[in-house]
Amino acid sequence: MHTNYYFLRQLAPALTERLRGYRVAVCFSQEKDELVVGLTNGTSEFWLKAQLGATFPALALPETFQRARVNSADLFPDMLGQQVETVAAWPQDRVLQVTFRSGARLVFKLYGPRPNAIFRTSPDAAAQLFQQKLVADADLRPQPAPPAPTTKSEQSEQSAVQTKLPPPLADLPARYLRLDGYDAAAAPETSARLVNQVLAQLEKPAHYYLTQLEGRTRLSLLPLGDVLETLPGDDPVAALRRFVPMALGRRALEMETKQLRQLLERRADEASAAAAHARQRLHALAHEAGYRHTADLIMANLHDIPAGATQIEVVDFYTNQPKLIKLKRTEKPQLTAENLYRKGKNQQIEERQLAERITRRETEVLTALERLEEMDTLPALAELRGLRTWRKQHGLDPKPAAAKAGAELPFKVFEDRGFTILVGRNAANNDLLTQKYAHKDDLWLHAKDVTGSHVVIRHKAGQPVPEPVVEHAAQLAGWFSRRQHDTLCPVTVTPKKYVRKPKGALPGQVVVERERVVLVKPGNPFDGPDGL
> What is the pLDDT, as a whole number, of residue 527?
55
User: Both 429 and 466 in a single domain?
Assistant: yes
Q: What is the CATH number of the domain that holds 25?
A: 2.30.310.10
Torsion region of 417: left, alpha or beta (phi above 0 gives left; psi -120 to 50 gives alpha): left
User: Both 216 and 284 in a single domain?
Assistant: no
What does the buried/exposed string (b/e) look like for 131-164 if buried means 16 or more CB atoms within 10 Å of the residue's CB?
beebeebeebeeeeeeeeeeeeeeeeeebeebbe
User: Both 69 and 173 in a single domain?
Assistant: no
> What is the pLDDT, as a whole number, of residue 446?
97
Give SS3 for 381. helix
User: Both 415 and 385 in a single domain?
Assistant: no
Domain for residue 259, yes or no? no
Domain for residue 83, yes or no? yes
User: Both 271 and 357 in a single domain?
Assistant: yes
- Residue ending a domain, choose from 394, 424, 447: 394
Distance CA 270, CA 122 (A): 59
> What is the pLDDT, as a whole number, of residue 4?
84
Phi then psi for residue 229, to 5 deg, are: -145, 150
> What is the pLDDT, as a whole number, of residue 5?
84
Domain for residue 424, yes or no? yes
pTM: 0.54
Give SS3 for 76. coil
Residues 6+ apart with CB under 8 A from 520: 471, 474, 475, 478, 488, 489, 491
Domain for residue 442, yes or no? yes
Distance CA 283, CA 286 (A): 5
Domain for residue 244, yes or no? no
| Per-block mean pLDDT, blocks of 10 residues, the chain (532 long) | 85 94 94 93 93 88 88 92 94 92 94 90 93 91 66 50 52 71 64 77 85 83 86 91 84 83 90 88 69 83 87 83 86 86 72 85 92 89 85 76 50 89 93 93 95 95 91 94 90 95 91 92 65 40
Domain for residue 403, yes or no? no
The structural domain count of the chain equals 4
- 207: which strand partners? 232
- 325: which strand partners? 312
- Using alpha carbons, select from 76, 90, 96 the residue that is nearest to residue 24: 76
The CB density around residue 106, as the number of other CB atoms within 10 Å, is 26
What does the buried/exposed string (b/e) look like for 7-34 if buried means 16 or more CB atoms within 10 Å of the residue's CB?
bbbbbbebbbebbeebbbebbbbeeebb
- Using alpha carbons, select from 261, 445, 444 the residue that is nearest to residue 368: 261
Say if residues 40 and 22 touch (Cβ distance below 8 Å). yes
Say if residues 342 and 336 touch (Cβ distance below 8 Å). no
Largest CA distance in the chain: 113
Distance CA 61, CA 47 (A): 6
> What is the pLDDT, as a whole number, of residue 47?
94
User: Both 277 and 385 in a single domain?
Assistant: yes
> What is the pLDDT, as a whole number, of residue 530?
42
User: Both 25 and 128 in a single domain?
Assistant: yes
> What is the pLDDT, as a whole number, of residue 151?
55
DSSP string covering 438-507 = --TTSEEEEETTS-B--EEEPPBTTBPPPHHHHHHHHHHHHHTBTTTT-SSEEEEEEEGGGEE--TTPPT
User: Both 390 and 417 in a single domain?
Assistant: no
Domain for residue 157, yes or no? no
- Using alpha carbons, select from 58, 431, 385 the residue that is nearest to residue 241: 58
> What is the pLDDT, as a whole number, of residue 21?
95
Distance CA 60, CA 247 (A): 11
Domain for residue 530, yes or no? no
DSSP string covering 116-176 = EEEEESSTTSPPEESSTT-GGGGG--PPPPPPPP-SHHHHHHHHHHTTSPPTT--SHHHHH
User: Both 417 and 382 in a single domain?
Assistant: no
Rounding to the nearest 10 degrees, give the CA dihedral for residues 111, 238, 89, 170. 50
- Residue ending a domain, choose from 344, 366, 394: 394
- Residue ending a domain, choose from 188, 219, 234: 234
> What is the pLDDT, as a whole number, of residue 38?
95
Query: Which residue segment(s) compose the domain that 9 sits in?
Result: 5-139
Distance CA 476, CA 470 (A): 10
Q: Which DSSP symbol is given to 90? A: P
> What is the pLDDT, as a whole number, of residue 157?
47
User: Both 133 and 23 in a single domain?
Assistant: yes
> What is the pLDDT, as a whole number, of residue 366?
94
User: Both 339 and 453 in a single domain?
Assistant: no
Say if residues 302 and 333 touch (Cβ distance below 8 Å). yes
User: Both 30 and 105 in a single domain?
Assistant: yes
Residues 6+ apart with CB under 8 A from 476: 414, 421, 423, 445, 453, 455, 523, 525
> What is the pLDDT, as a whole number, of residue 489?
92
- Using alpha carbons, select from 214, 219, 213 the residue that is nearest to residue 245: 219
* Dihedral sign computed on CA atoms, order 439, 442, 447, 453: negative
> What is the pLDDT, as a whole number, of residue 346?
67
